[in-house]
């Protein structure tokens, strides 16, 4: 097989963690004879500096020619003015919208060797295996908005169409079929009209999946249950904003935002894969960033866009074994971990892939 992978390192620690994932992809390509072709492009603040656009036409063209995209992170203090008409995160939002990447998959698993790094009791973390299915191109992030024009008033609009809810619901129910047959749908139907449409639509789609258990949970209650009984969740289906917040909260279960990967997919095989963490400008360039989320995002890329679950599992096991050896980047080191650099942790994963 051959496949074209576009790397979009972005800003902050993005180039460092994407470079780690690149090395893993290159080694996997050699070991499994994948024939991967890797190239790089610009996005976010780096693209603004070079081309004045957070998602320049050259990057869009490269995305169209690629089988999948691996992205690092966007944003940083240099471009942090929220009132600026052009901002780094606009490139990421346009990428999701223009390629109709409406489903964001965020798996949350706790490695046994890492239970001491979460702020919960170890017994609560046993068997935690959650898949967040987040609607990605609708809701309040993409609704009509009005900035404050001096009147002292601004608004953002949370809009959902039935068709948008139906398609993300089917992604969640299909995923549950391959897992433990449970879907938790998150909303705020007691307050928001858009969420009442969400709940009605989820119920209608659920009728096509009688073997899947469905529960509706209000978003505030879900936030509490994630800390009280995280192992009780299987697939969590959430609107854009709520899914963003809840999956970041769930990162504490794994020990750090640096641990969790994500996949943004649509109807075809093309997808954009990225860590859920930000650009972490405070540690950029120091060689201490945790590359785990980027490496696991590369594994998701192999699984979802290229259909190579075997290679993805190989990478995931190499990461798991690296943590089991006691090797840790500083964000998850704790009192017993052997603190290592980004490069050293990546080197361990590469050795274990052999």
Query: Which one is catalytic: 220, 282, 309, 310?
Result: 220
d(CA 14, CA 296): 14
Look at residues 331, 336, 323, 261 and name the one whose alpha carbon lies nearest to residue 114.
Answer: 323
Look at residues 127, 43, 107 and name the one whose alpha carbon lies nearest to residue 79.
Answer: 43
d(CA 11, CA 58): 18
Instruction: Check if 244 is active-site.
Output: yes
Query: Which one is catalytic: 141, 160, 209, 273?
Result: 141
Judge contact between 274 and 296, C-beta under 8 A.
Answer: no
Parallel, antiparallel, or unpaired for β 271-275 and 261-265? antiparallel
Instruction: Check if 248 is active-site.
Output: yes
Look at residues 252, 300, 253, 244 and name the one whose alpha carbon lies nearest to residue 274.
Answer: 300
Query: Which one is catalytic: 100, 129, 156, 248?
Result: 248
Instruction: Check if 234 is active-site.
Output: no
Q: What count of other Cβ atoms lies within 10 Å of the Cβ of residue 324? A: 13
Give CA angle at 138 (134, 141), nearest 5°: 95
Query: Which one is catalytic: 19, 53, 234, 244?
Result: 244
Query: Which one is catalytic: 53, 187, 188, 209?
Result: 188
Judge contact between 74 and 91, C-beta under 8 A.
Answer: yes
Q: What CA–CA distances, in Å, run from 322 to 27, 118, 346?
A: 16, 18, 9
Catalytic residues, by residue number, are 141, 188, 220, 244, 248
């Amino acid at each position: 097989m051959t496949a074209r992978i576009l790397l979009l390192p972005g800003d902050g620690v993005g180039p460092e963690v994407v470079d780690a994932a690149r090395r893993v992809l290159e080694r996997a390509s050699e070991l499994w004879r994948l024939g991967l072709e890797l190239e790089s492009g610009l996005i976010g603040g780096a693209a603004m500096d070079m081309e004045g656009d957070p998602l320049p036409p050259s990057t869009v063209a490269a995305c169209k020619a690629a089988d999948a995209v691996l992205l690092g992170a966007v944003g940083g203090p240099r471009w942090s003015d929220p009132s600026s008409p052009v901002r780094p995160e606009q490139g990421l939002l346009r990428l999701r919208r223009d390629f109709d990447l409406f489903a964001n998959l965020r798996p949350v698993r706790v490695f046994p060797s890492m239970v001491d790094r979460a702020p919960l009791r170890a017994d609560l973390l046993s068997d935690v295996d959650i898949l967040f299915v987040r609607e990605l191109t609708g809701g309040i992030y993409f609704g009509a908005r009005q900035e404050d024009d001096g009147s002292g008033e601004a608004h953002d609009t949370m809009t959902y169409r039935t068709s948008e809810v139906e398609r993300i619901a089917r992604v969640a129910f299909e995923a549950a079929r391959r897992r433990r047959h449970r879907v938790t749908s998150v909303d705020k139907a007691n307050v928001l009209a858009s969420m009442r449409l969400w709940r009605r639509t989820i119920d209608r789609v659920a009728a096509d999946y009688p073997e899947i258990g469905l529960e509706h949970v209000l978003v505030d209650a879900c936030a509490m249950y994630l800390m009280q009984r995280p192992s009780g969740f299987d697939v969590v289906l959430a609107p854009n904003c709520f899914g963003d917040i809840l999956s970041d909260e769930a990162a504490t279960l794994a020990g750090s935002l640096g641990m969790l990967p994500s996949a943004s997919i649509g109807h075809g095989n093309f997808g954009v894969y990225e860590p859920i963490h930000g650009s972490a400008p405070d540690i950029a360039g120091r060689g201490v960033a945790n590359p785990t989320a980027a490496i696991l995002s590369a594994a998701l890329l192999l699984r979802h866009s290229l259909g190579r679950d075997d290679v993805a599992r190989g990478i995931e096991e190499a990461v798991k074994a690296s943590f089991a050896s006691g090797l840790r980047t500083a964000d998850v080191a704790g009192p017993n971990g052997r603190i290592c650099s980004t490069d050293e942790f990546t080197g361990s994963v590469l050795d274990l892939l052999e």
